[in-house]
Amino acid sequence: MTKHSRSNIQKNILMQKVIINFLLAGSLLAAVQTDAQEESDYYKISTVPVPEEAYLEVGGLAFNEKGQLGVTTRRGELWLIDNPESASPNFTRFAAGLHEPLGLAYREGSFFLAQRGELTKLTDENGDGLADLYEPIFNWPLAANYHEYAYGPVILEDGNMLINLNLGWVGRGASLSKWSGWMLMVSPEGKMTPVATGMRSPAGLGLNANGDIFYTENQGDWVGSGRMSHVEKGDFLGHPEGLKWTAEPGSPLSIKMEDITDNEEQTLFEYAQKQPALKPPSVWFPHTLMGISTSDIEVVPDNFGPFEGQLLVGDQGHSKIMRVFQEKINGVYQGICFPFVEGFSSGLLRMEWGPEQTLYCGMTNRGWASTGKAPYGLQRLNWTGKVPFEMKTVKVQPDGFEIEFTQPVNRRSAANPDSYELTDFNYKYHHFYGSEAIRVQERTVFKVEVSQDNLKARLYVEGMRQGFVYEIKAEGVKNQSGQSLLHDHGYYTLNNIPGATSEMDHSQPDPAAVTPTVELKSAKRITEMPGSWLNGPDQVIKIGTLPGMRYDTKEVTVKAGSKIQLELNNPDDMMHNLLVVQPGTATQMGDMAMKLGLKGQSKGYVPDSDLVIAHTNLLAPNSADVIYFVMPSEPGDYEFVCTFPAHAATMRGVFKVVK
């Protein structure tokens, strides 16, 4: 396979070595990705005019039942906006004197918001349009550290509310007061239940289309890169500080801070194999490649383009929105993030859906530098009605990925393995701040099948690594008008490989490190001419390989029971083998080889089956093998086939065995 241009992750590593300024690195990357299509052809950003007196450093957004958009600000106010879709919306200050509320929700006539140290309910009892009842629902201690932010609430269907409490900062994340670093659930009556911990800077909190709870995390100590995690009661999500409080009544966890140790080389996924309370994230957002500070989570509704049910995740530092598709494999969430829309005017912290599929985006960047240079703002995002050419979903397969596109592809471009580049990598799980990408490897896409309707490409990938992040680039794929993808890459977090068994654990060597030219020891692979063949072989057969997963020979006629010397030559640039099998069993042998999964390579992809008569070694590019065997005495069309994953469909031929 030809060597392509460098993957984004490799470019990024190089750039980080040369340029320490991450913002500069971001803009250079953006320049590399220029394309004829523009994001604004499909999704348009517009600005809500904000009067000067409302210093709208947005902390939270929520609509009330009158259709007014409520906005909490970091300066401690709650504004109501009438007709936020109009050119001159009306602003009313509904409440003031709050302590940096970084969230807002509305239910049954009242607003709910998390102040620094209190979950508060605000109601306009006399109907004059201003809050007159400020009710504390639940409060928690503070250590007066500037970094003890509180986010939320998200209100669940049953009325219970979720809030996230940030760690303090003392040169490292520190839980200086009880429940700092936790997700808490609070009932409308103020009964608190601790849900999970391991949070560091959990600015985003939301539900997916199934109602499952997710939160987003920012890079920092113990957090290699931005990420999103599925939260269930009793989870430990990664930062050990919150474990200080697991002895408190109601804690659903019992592990202690001291139980968590780090070393330089382990990844979070690996550590989670040893520490089952630790849950790996469902999606990593690679630092600077996707964003630098993940924020809010929203579900895409119907009629907002082709991405219904997927998630949008904001990035405060990069002033943009990313798109996430997730799936559940072995009961565990995982998925892929893509770039979606960039170019917002300030640091995008909050998103909220308004009428007519308008996404309101609330922004602030005081103390948190952002690409959008305005100090604060409120913008809208609308779909123009045009469908961009994008990767809609990427789903994992036992031996690769299936990419679904939003438009039919040009078949030739999509079927060419050179149109794709896959690179996998990981992050360190350690007490230092962030992590560079480690164990970066390019992965070979050795075959691509395009679906009949031209909407899907099935990528066969060599040596998938569980627990790694996959950069999937599809730079060469075109649609039927010859356009490239609007965004040609995404990052898939591979927590589980479907069909993989527990045998595929981490004590096994990395399959990619297994040398492909392992000498197969097998009674069906005789590499020295048997001494009893005094007159040599009856027939010498030479078969070669061709590009495109084919042999150069389709059919060979052989006498029943004859002594055969078979030479397989592999001048091709991928690995191949050759199995001589019983009539009509080539497809079955190909399937069996595929099911060997990651063990396949060490077995040369030769299934353990009586239907195999003889086989060669698994041949690396530019190598050969010679075997000796006796043809069956029963005449028939015996097949020969390559059982390297996904080759069997095309790479086969027939030995016509005659009397």
Which positions touch Cu ion (CB under 5 A)?
576, 642, 644, 647, 651
Contact between residue 38 and residue 44 where contact means Cβ atoms under 8 Å apart: no
Contact between residue 361 and residue 350 where contact means Cβ atoms under 8 Å apart: yes
Nearest distance from residue 514's CB to Cu ion, in Å? 17
Other Cβ atoms closer than 10 A to 387: 14
- Between 97 and 548, CB nearer to Cu ion: 548
Nearest distance from residue 566's CB to Cu ion, in Å? 15
Nearest distance from residue 545's CB to Cu ion, in Å? 7
Name the DSSP letter for residue 7: P
User: What is the SS3 assignment for 374-391?
Assistant: CCEEEEEEEECCCCCCCE
**Euclidean distance between CA atoms 116 and 28, whole angstroms:** 38
Nearest distance from residue 586's CB to Cu ion, in Å? 12
Sign of CA pseudo-dihedral 20, 26, 27, 33? positive
Nearest distance from residue 647's CB to Cu ion, in Å? 3
Nearest distance from residue 644's CB to Cu ion, in Å? 4
- Those residues whose C-beta lies under 8 Å from the C-beta of residue 237, and which sit 6 or more positions away, are 196, 197, 198, 199, 215, 217, 229, 231, 278, 279, 281
- Between 313 and 642, CB nearer to Cu ion: 642
Nearest distance from residue 474's CB to Cu ion, in Å? 24
Nearest distance from residue 549's CB to Cu ion, in Å? 6
**Euclidean distance between CA atoms 30 and 8, whole angstroms:** 11
CA dist list (Å): 108 to 72, 113, 123, 224, 637: 18, 14, 10, 40, 75
- Between 137 and 648, CB nearer to Cu ion: 648
Sign of CA pseudo-dihedral 442, 447, 450, 456? negative
- Between 81 and 627, CB nearer to Cu ion: 627
Q: What is the CA 585 to chain-centroid distance, rounded?
A: 38
- Those residues whose C-beta lies under 8 Å from the C-beta of residue 163, and which sit 6 or more positions away, are 103, 114, 119, 150, 151, 152, 153, 183, 184, 186, 205
- Between 132 and 573, CB nearer to Cu ion: 573
Name the DSSP letter for residue 513: G
Please classify residue 416 by burial: count the beta carbons closer than 10 Å to its beta carbon, then call 0-12 exposed, 13-18 middle and 19+ buried: middle
Residue 344 bridge partners (DSSP): none
- Between 413 and 545, CB nearer to Cu ion: 545
Maximum distance among all Cα pairs of the chain, rounded to whole angstroms: 109
Q: Where are the beta strands (DSSP E) in 510-588?
A: 539-546, 550-551, 555-559, 563-570, 579-581
Nearest distance from residue 444's CB to Cu ion, in Å? 13
Nearest distance from residue 463's CB to Cu ion, in Å? 16
- Between 50 and 568, CB nearer to Cu ion: 568
Nearest distance from residue 648's CB to Cu ion, in Å? 8
- Strand pairing category for 636-641 and 579-581: antiparallel
- Between 113 and 651, CB nearer to Cu ion: 651
Contact between residue 518 and residue 416 where contact means Cβ atoms under 8 Å apart: no
Map residue 597 onto helix, strand or coil.
Answer: helix
Contact between residue 96 and residue 74 where contact means Cβ atoms under 8 Å apart: no
- Name the helix (H) or strand (E) containing 269: helix 268-274
Nearest distance from residue 589's CB to Cu ion, in Å? 12
- Between 349 and 651, CB nearer to Cu ion: 651
- Between 380 and 603, CB nearer to Cu ion: 603
Residue nearest to Cu ion (CB): 642
**Euclidean distance between CA atoms 111 and 61, whole angstroms:** 10
**Euclidean distance between CA atoms 629 and 616, whole angstroms:** 11
- Between 391 and 568, CB nearer to Cu ion: 568
- Between 320 and 647, CB nearer to Cu ion: 647
